[in-house]
Chains A and B, each alone.
Chain A
Amino acid sequence: MNAAGRTILKRLALAGPTLLGITVLTFAVAHWAPGDPLGLSEDAASSSGLEAARRASGIDRPWPEQYLTWLVHFARADLGRSLVDQRPVAEKIGEALPRTLLLSGLALAAAWLLAVPLGAWLARWPTSRRARAVSASLALASGLPTFWVAMLALFVFANPRRLDWFPFQGLRSEGGGLVDLAWHLVLPVLVLTSPTLALAARHVEAAMRQALSHESVLAARARGIPERSVVWRHAFRNSLVPLVTLLGLQLPHLVGGSVVVERVFGIPGMGLLAFEAVGTRDYPVVMAVATVMGAVTLLAMVLADVGAVAADPRLRHPEGR
């Protein structure tokens, strides 16, 4: 096994304790907030009934015991039931996750598909007037609050009194098919794409600018290699490592979702699920969401390392440089 493989194995091994730490922290923070899901609900008839309900759900036990119980159940792949509506937590996540995956996946893919050519073009022609205009609009896209852009998008494009082009809320109309789904996705995906696109394009530009200034690019041009080939086969290939790292940092958004965008567009995905669960002290849901998000984030970090080694063969032999 080479050095890079060992580094990645070490990261995987360390991911375990980190994930455990995330669950402990989530548990502590969730229980730190006063009140519990049963006490918060208005229809808790009598205090004796409330006590009985607390005992039945186990939330009257000491915290360490509750945490260990959760951990044992989790190890058996049992996420428990929601304390608010008694549905299995796995089922709730199973509903929310596909929505968020669809929304964030499309946005992430769109952002990177646009960012790579755009960033390369900006790096190649940095001083042209058009490039400056594009840079300025990218800066603007990353400086505006996402939920504000979402609100204005609804106001302009989903408003019977302005342009009534797109549906107002949700992901589907009654009895709608794929076209209907796509129609509902247009505005939220566009809103989610713009900040990611701005960030990715800026990183592509910086990485490409550095790669293009390398002497090997000058040499390639001197040999008469076509510019297109110089940019994509020589320079772009050398700019991949920081981009893979950035992509790794963005992958967790695929399952985390965006609370504000989901809220403005009325799409009950992972972001809203987490937000509502912690608001109602629905501990099993909070724990499950944090664990899923934490696991995906850690996995993305390892994937980014693997990707970096794949993109830059020198990383396979760090000592032998």
Chain B
Amino acid sequence: MKGLVRPLVADRRARAPLAVLAGIVLLALFADVLASDLPLLVRVDGATHVLPCLVRPAALGAESSQSLAARAEWMVRTPIPYGPNQTLAATGEQQELPPPWGPGGAHWLGTDELGRDVLARLVHGARVSLFIAALTVLVAALVGLLIGGVAGLFGGPVDLVLSRLTEVMATFPTIFFLVALLAVLRTPSLWPVALVLGLTRWTDVARLVRAEVQKLKTLDFVLAARAMGAGPAHVLLRHLLPNALGPVIVTATFGVGSAVLLESALSFLGLGVSPPTASWGELLSQAQRTLLVPGAWWLAVFPGAAIGVTVLAVNGVGEALQRTFDARS
């Protein structure tokens, strides 16, 4: 891994995408202290609460930054003083027209038709979208490594069957799987959506690993290991797969970008994580309802741009990794 990080950081063209990606990951990790309905620090009714936005103390119950503002002795709000699911009823805001409100004023990127802050939802949606994308790719890479590795190592009938399985999965329309899954689960949460996405996307990795393993297993160091009595599992796990990992990492990195796009398309079709959980795709599918009639462009433009920036950054890192591996071989 160390040998991978250094050339990546040294690669000038990788710096901007790496920085952007790191920024998005940090936003996702710290979503709860960046955008919350409760403040970072507050002194109210003679008690001081530290990070109520994380701890959610019972004493504050259904309070929010907005309702505390009048009674608190002092408080430090989160940078975005709104929670992702905090509607108009909870903030108690008044404007001449009903929401959706455009960008500006208290809501930097505007609100949706329930008065929820778009920026707060974007920051929290980053967590959901990135988590699903990362888990999807992890599952896909593990399944692909296993199936491709076994097919490549054993060859013969095992390879024939596993290669057909790979072909079937690559050809099978993903959408069928997901609609069926949604029907089984009714209200899908993060984990099952990511697992099922991963189970439909391992075929590229499997093909790649199979080809790599076929190439590697004829090399002398593998023969030496086998001559010393190493079993197939040892050869596969300790010798073949670690050496086939390079191209897998590149493919997996590009896979994160396409998983973010896939998640958004699924949410758009109503198949993603169930609302009100904010994911970027869910924000967009909601935007579709208000885009043309009140003309609320900000509900569509910002989440779409967030997806675009993320995918570009991930692909930039993927290209840099590819250059690293190309230069090495």
Contacts and interface: CB of A to CB of B under 8 A. Distances in A.
A256 B265 contact: no
Contacts of A289: 173
Interface residues of B, number: 39
B300 A155 contact: yes
A185 to B, nearest CB: 20
Nearest to B301: A152
A154 B287 CA distance: 13
A150 to B, nearest CB: 10
B168 A154 contact: no
A145 interface: yes
Given A140-B308, A274-B175, A297-B171, A151 B288 contact: yes
Contact of B164 (A21, A161, A264): A21
A274 B173 contact: yes
Interface string A31-65: 01111000000000000000000000000000000
Nearest to B166: A18
A279 interface: yes
Contacts, number: 122
Contact of A260 (B173, B180, B269, B315): B269
Contacts of A33: 179-181, 183-184
B180 A21 contact: no
B307 interface: yes
A132 to B, nearest CB: 11
Q: Say whether chain B's binding surface is mostly helix, strand, loop, or mixed.
A: helix
Nearest to B171: A297
Given A155-B291, A290-B176, A263 B171 contact: no
Contact of B175 (A154, A161, A278, A297): A278
A275 B269 contact: yes
Interface in A252-303: 252, 256, 259-260, 263-264, 274-275, 278-279, 286, 289-290, 293-294, 297-298, 301
B173 A293 contact: yes
Interface of B: 160, 164-165, 167-168, 170-173, 175-177, 179-181, 183-184, 257, 261, 264-265, 268-269, 281, 284, 287-288, 291-292, 295, 297, 300-301, 304, 307-308, 311-312, 315
